Structures are given as C-alpha cells and as structure tokens.
Structure 1
Amino acid sequence: MVNLLNKKRQRTGNILTTFAIATFSLHLLVILLFIFQGLQIRQLSLRKPPNFVEMIDGKPVGAIDDLERSPEAIQQFVTKTMTSMFNWSGTLPPTSIEEVTKPQPDPGILVKTPVAGSKKVTTSSWVASFAISEDFRKGFLSAIAQMTPPEVFATYPNQAMSAQLVIKRVYPPKKIAPGKWRVGMVADLIQKKRIDNRSKITPFNKDLLVRAVDYYPYPQNDNSTDLQKAIYSNRADKLEIYEIRNLCLLDEYSNLTEEQLKQCTNRNKSGNFIR
C-alpha cells in the first residue's frame, strides 16, 4: 500500500515538474518572440522612406536609390533654385488672389556681410538659399546681399530696380562621386531701372556642385506658415548645392579634365561664390 502511494506521489510530482518546465519554456518563447518583434519594429522605424524625388513636371516617378537622381531632376532643381535666387522683383510672392493684383512690397531680410555690415537680400533669395548646404549658405547669402542693389527695395518708381536671371543653358549633370554631380550653367543677370528700362547685363556662368541629401519630414499643413512651406519646397527635392565655381567655357564642357577645370577656375577667379 505504501509503495502504491509513493508511486502515485512520484507520478504527480513528474506531471507537475513537466507542466512547470513546459510553462516556463512557453513563457521564454513568448519573451523571445516579443524581443524579436520589437527589434523588427525598431528597424522599420529607423528605415529611410523610399526616395520619390525624381520630379518630372512636379510628379514623382517612383522609388529609387538614396543616392541616385535623374539628370532631368537635377537640371530642374538647379534651374528653379538659381532663378528664385536672382529674380528680384521688389515684391513678395503672392499667397492669395488679392496679392496677385496688388503685390505686397518686399521688406527684405537683413544678412551680415564681412565688408558693409548688414545688408538686405530679397525674401525669395533667402527662401531659395535653403536649397544650399548649411556650411555654404551663410557665405553665399553674404555675397548675394553685396550684389543686391538697395533700389530693389525702393518704394518710389523713379528709384526702383528689378533683376532677372536669364538662363541660356544648363549642361547635363556629370557625376563626380556617388550622390554628387557637377552642373554647368550659362546665364545673364539682367538688372533694369523701372523708370526708363535701362538694363545692365552681367554674365553669370557658373559650375554648380550638387549632392543628394537625406529625407526631410513633411511639415504639418495646419501648423505651417507660408514661409515654412516655401522653405520646405526647396528641400523636398532631396538635393542641395554645396559649392559654386566659375564656369570654364574655353573648351567643350563635358570633355574637360579635373586639372583643366582647376586651371580655368584659377584664371577666371573673381572671388564670388568660391569656397
């Protein structure tokens, strides 16, 4: 009888032990699954979103590699940025139908310059400058401020002046490194006196170095000002200009070697926009 009771106790103990081990194993498996799932979610949160910046007529054409951009997208970015930078109308870009018929005067934005203290740049130039790399932007804006005539901000018609960048050609981008391109631009900066339409034409032939940049989250529409939206529109292409040099026109642009470009840049160096 005693042996029978001992056997029953051993059997019950074995069942309880097996149940405890199985329960512990199941809990351990659940914990491991939670850890694995957490790691997967973290990887998803850190993953860069697909790059949809290949803009043709303002529409994305599909996801691409983080460092790749189409030649058309790069040329369009350069044209848009430089046109916005050097079109000085003396008025703010319209944000409503009323402002189209009655444009608001541009008060300008003060920028520090190394020579003349603080000078004004147009609001459109300041907004467009966010398409330029941060380390280059400050010096570039200073150079723009020194170029911008005070008459651009004049309220009297007999003093007012406007300017426009007329782009004649934008060369196809030449890849110089992964995610980096050199783009040549041939243009004229035309400044006009409004009272008599007298013009001053300055050749503006530049070599622009462009690179792909990382993702920038879209601002909340409800909480964003028109100025913030305009600034974001310059970053939405996921490109930025990080250097501007004088363009060498002594030979066929695409056939020049890096050494020839350096020699040409040294011969034509004017100090403007050269890092």
Structure 2
Amino acid sequence: MQLLKSETRKSSILPMLAVGTFGLHLFTLMLLMFHGSMLELLNQRLTPRSLVQLVNGNAITVDPKSSVERHPETIRRFVGETMTLMLTWSSKQPQATIWETSSSLLASNFQSKFLSEINNLNFSQKFGNTNRSDQHIFIIQRISQPTPIGEGKWKVEILSNQLIFNNSDNLGRSIPFNKQVLVRAIDESAISLPPTPLPWHLAAYRLGEARLEIYNVCDLENKNCSGNSN
C-alpha cells in the first residue's frame, strides 16, 4: 500500500513538472521577444537622422540612405549641368580651361574617350583651337528619368544641341548631341577648389558634391552601351 501511494505521488508530480517547464520556456521566449523589440527600438533611436532645411524655410529630419542611393532629380540635374558646363565655351570661358576644371566629373578611364567625342563633335576645329570670337552654347531639349542598371548605376538619355555662333555667322549652326549617359555613385568627389576660384571652378565643385561621375556616353541607337569605355 505504501508503494502504491508513492507511485501515485510521483505520477501526480510529473504533469505539474511538465506544466512548470513549459511555462518557464514560454516565459523565456517572451523575454527574448521583449529584449529583441527593445534592441530594435534602441537601434532606431541610435541611428543618426539628418536635418534637412528646405528652400521654403521649413526643416525636416530624414532617415539615412545607402551611400549609393541618389534621388532621380539629383541624377538628372548632375547630367544636364555637367554636360552644359563641359560643352559651353567662349572667349571668357575657354574650352581648354573648362576641360581642365570639369574633367574630374568623368571617370578617369573615360576622360580620353570623351575628349575624342568633343573633337568629333567639332570636327572642323582641334581641341583648344576654337576661334576667340566663337560662342559655343549647349542647349538641352530633354533629359529622361534615370533607369537603374546596377547598384549605384543609372542610364540617362539626353536630347540636346551645341549651338555655335561667331562674328561671320550670327545665325549660328547646330550640332546634335543625342546620347545615352551612364552615371554611377562614388564615395568622394575628385573636385577641389583653387585658392581663388572662378565661377566655373565653383560650378564644378557644386556638381561634385553630388558624388556622382559619368563613366560612359553612347549613341542613342547603341544597344550595348555599358561600362566599357573603350
């Protein structure tokens, strides 16, 4: 009889032990979930946010973005303003000076190819030997929305013309410049300001702050336009 009571007592303890063990595991799981939510909240609080001042005077805070992300309008403005700077020349804004100032907005292995592109654009004149009375003005008709082609890389189509005027031809002539422009994000700008910057130095420096560079330019009809600048 004593043995039967002992076995009965043991059998009654086992369910209680099982329930207690299950409750302990459940409590541990809930504690881990609570700690996880607290860590996530702390991470959100510790993640730095940027204060952005808008042109209308308002200020907003924004979440940080990946270093390779760029707003589409930033890309479009970079392409349009870079091309305008590089292809607008005059006696007061010499072609060679503009190239020296702005060529760092291009990838280093693409600069020689684009210089050849400029020479082909003005096939009747060698680089740096434009007539002092010539005025070269770059006019844009349209810039497409950027198309992502890789991480931190985009393709933009630009429809434009370079207008050339001189004293003997007041009506001028127009050279089409309709291209695909490949752009990519970079870590640091290669543009620096000289001790006494001129307006084109300031323009190039401001463009460089977008931390973008042009790494290839192709004809619109080119279906194989890629990062290979050769």
Shared fold, TM over 0.5: yes
State the 1:70 CA deviation: 0.6
Paired with 1:135 and 1:247, the residues of 2 have a C-alpha distance of: 21
Identity %: 29
TM-score of the aligned structures, taking structure 1 as reference length: 0.52
Paired with 1:239 and 1:216, the residues of 2 have a C-alpha distance of: 8
One of 153, 161, 179 as aligned partner of 2:152: 179
Matched, 1:77 2:48: no
| Aligned residues of 2:179 and 2:218 also touching (Cα < 8 A) | yes
| Aligned residues of 2:156 and 2:182 also touching (Cα < 8 A) | yes
- Please tell me the residue identity of whatever aligns with 1:73: T
| Aligned residues of 1:213 and 1:238 also touching (Cα < 8 A) | yes
Matched with 1:136 is: 110
Matched with 2:138 is: 165
Matched, 1:198 2:171: yes
State the 1:141 CA deviation: 2.5
Distance 1:51 1:229, change over 3 A: farther
| Aligned residues of 2:189 and 2:212 also touching (Cα < 8 A) | no
Distance 1:202 1:216, change over 3 A: closer
What pairs with 1:1-275 in structure 2 (closer than 5 Å)?
Answer: 63-92=64-93, 106=94, 121-145=95-119, 147-148=121-122, 149=125, 152-154=130-132, 160-216=133-189, 224-226=195-197, 231-248=204-221, 261-262=223-224, 275=230
| Aligned residues of 2:190 and 2:208 also touching (Cα < 8 A) | no
| Aligned residues of 1:152 and 1:162 also touching (Cα < 8 A) | no
Distance 1:50 1:161, change over 3 A: farther
State the secondary structure of the residue aligned to 2:118. Answer: helix
Matched with 1:256 is: none
State the 1:177 CA deviation: 0.4
State the 1:215 CA deviation: 2.6
Matched with 2:31 is: none
| Aligned residues of 1:207 and 1:245 also touching (Cα < 8 A) | yes
TM-score of the aligned structures, taking structure 2 as reference length: 0.61
Distance 1:193 1:135, change over 3 A: same
Distance 1:139 1:145, change over 3 A: same
Unaligned runs of 5+ residues in structure 2 are: 1-47
State the 1:187 CA deviation: 0.7
C-alpha root-mean-square deviation of aligned residues, in Å? 3.7
